[in-house]
Amino acid sequence: MASTTQIEVCSIGKKYGKFKALGDINLGIAEGEFLSLLGPSGSGKTTLLTLIGGYDAPSSGRLLFDGQDMTNWPAKQRGFGMVFQGYALFPHLTVAENIAFPLKVQKRSKAQIADRVAQMVEMVGLSGHEAKKPTALSGGQQQRVALARALAYEPKVLLLDEPFSALDKNLRGQMQEELRRLHRDLGTTFVFVTHDQEEALALSTHIAIFNHGELQQIGTPEEVYERPANRFTAEFLGDINLLSLDGSTGCLAETAIELPKTIAGQSHLAIRPEHMRLAADDDAIQLPVRLRDRVYLGSKSRLLLETSGGEELMLYLDNDPTDMRPGSELRVAWDARDSFAV
Ligand SMILES: Nc1ncnc2c1ncn2[C@@H]1O[C@H](COP(=O)(O)OP(=O)(O)O)[C@@H](O)[C@H]1O
Ligand SMILES: [Mg+2]
């Protein structure tokens, strides 16, 4: 996979009237990357995707493509593929005609179009459905047509806005697998909008996390999950245990547990539940807790715990601890390297 920067977002801002939908966004997208724009509803994801695609103009800043300023290029000149939220297929056209549409606009020859449509239909697993109208297809099939149509003319960049949000969980998982495969096989740059953390972690080579129109962090899934830049990212990406820090003593609040390095200005120590365990005798950190509840989950149990200061913690145990009752006094441990201040 090449790693040259293909798209550069330089100080991009977007206002709707007085409302600032996007702050001052700077990020680079490498050729062949699968970048997810992840954030809660209203955080500016669609706005940024729309600006990259050229469907709207930014209020400030510049967009570069292969080093060239494309800020004022119309969408057509950029030629990026786009899969919109919802399916947005032409209802009066068949599957084959929907996929052929962008190729006809490009005035490709009939033979070329027929070849390419056949290839795309096979790629998205819709062989035998070519003559059907969209209404005769399931949601997943319709989304495959939308994907095939967007990829038919081999765009250098594919933009996808929450393409699977209308699908049920099983189908969504299946479509995610197919999208991963497509990305791997094609090597096209994918920019993918989602509010689903698991989806972003599972699909992406890189994730850009947004909140209130501001970029919070960008990195690989491992980087943003294991080393969140701030509390928003830490809490947005999966479960997190937070323990108050006592700034004056450099200890965990209400304990004598010293931290290897407290970070100035940070109020909490964060530990992912999967990095927390019941303490063994030789663990350096031993935090006393009381068991509030135990939830049996089949392959594991989830323990809900409370510190003496009333802070709630969560951890998972692989084996069902049958001798533990709510109210039990326990100790938890973690490795200092798995904790971070936020
Ligand atoms: N055309 C528009 N006019 C006014 N406000 C808009 C428009 N489009 C989006 N917004 C606002 O900008 C913010 C970001 O929207 P959007 O980018 O669609 O968020 P997301 O895709 O992350 O859910 C929201 O508060 C939304 O209401
Ligand atoms: Mg959106």
Which tens digits make up the pLDDT trace of 168-223?
888 888 889 989 999 999 999 999 999 999 999 999 999 999 999 999 999 999 99
Whether 86 is in the pocket of ligand 1, judged by its Cβ within 6 Å, is no
Whether 121 is in the pocket of ligand 1, judged by its Cβ within 6 Å, is no
> What is the whole-number distance in angstroms between the Cα of residue 213 and the centre of ligand 1?
9
CATH code at 5-230: 3.40.50.300
Burial 103-118 (b: 16+ CB within 10 A, else e): beeeebeeeebeebbe
Whether 44 is in the pocket of ligand 1, judged by its Cβ within 6 Å, is yes
Q: pLDDT band for 2, please (50, 70, 90 cuts).
A: very low
Cα dihedral 144, 171, 37, 217 in deg (nearest 10): -150
Say which residue, 259 or 61, is predicted with more confidence.
61
| Nearest-atom index, ligand 1, CA of 40 | 22
pLDDT in tens, 41-71: 999 999 999 999 999 999 999 999 999 999 9
> What is the spatial distance between Cα 38 and Cα 40, in angstroms, rounded to a whole number?
7
| Nearest-atom index, ligand 1, CA of 17 | 4
- Proportion of the chain in helix, strand, coil states, percent, rounded to 5: 30, 30, 40
How far is the CA of 86 from the CAs of 90, 146, 227, 264, in angstroms? 12, 9, 34, 46
Q: Using alpha carbons only, give the angle 258, 263, 264 rounded to the nearest 5 degrees.
A: 115
| Nearest-atom index, ligand 1, CA of 37 | 22
> What is the whole-number distance in angstroms between the Cα of residue 214 and the centre of ligand 1?
13
Write out the two tokens for 201. 């972690």
Residue 295 has pLDDT above 70, yes or no: yes
Whether 45 is in the pocket of ligand 1, judged by its Cβ within 6 Å, is yes
Residues facing 208 on adjacent strands: 37, 218
Name the CA radius of gyration of the chain, rounded: 24
Whether 41 is in the pocket of ligand 1, judged by its Cβ within 6 Å, is yes
Whether 46 is in the pocket of ligand 1, judged by its Cβ within 6 Å, is yes
Residue 128 has pLDDT above 70, yes or no: yes
> What is the spatial distance between Cα 114 and Cα 121, in angstroms, rounded to a whole number?
11
DSSP secondary structure, 183-210, as one string: HHHH--EEEEEES-HHHHHHH-SEEEEE
Q: Where in the chain is the domain with CATH 3.40.50.300?
A: 5-230
Pick from 12, 19, 59, 216 the residue to mutate for probing ligand 1's pocket: most ligand atoms within 8 Å of its CB. 19
Average pLDDT over residues 323-340: 89
Q: Which residue in the block uniquely carries the two structure tokens 């479509």?
A: 175
Residues facing 190 on adjacent strands: 34, 158
% of the chain at pLDDT higher than 90: 70
Pick from 12, 14, 15, 16 the residue to mutate for probing ligand 1's pocket: most ligand atoms within 8 Å of its CB. 16
pLDDT of residue 325: 86
Mean pLDDT score of the chain, rounded to an integer? 91
Average pLDDT over residues 285-304: 91
Q: Where in the chain is the domain with CATH 2.40.50.140?
A: 239-341
CA nearest ligand 1 atom 26, residue: 42
| 239-341: CATH topology | OB fold (Dihydrolipoamide Acetyltransferase, E2P) (2.40.50)
Whether 209 is in the pocket of ligand 1, judged by its Cβ within 6 Å, is no
> What is the whole-number distance in angstroms between the Cα of residue 47 and the centre of ligand 2?
7
> What is the whole-number distance in angstroms between the Cα of residue 42 and the centre of ligand 1?
6
pLDDT of residue 60: 98
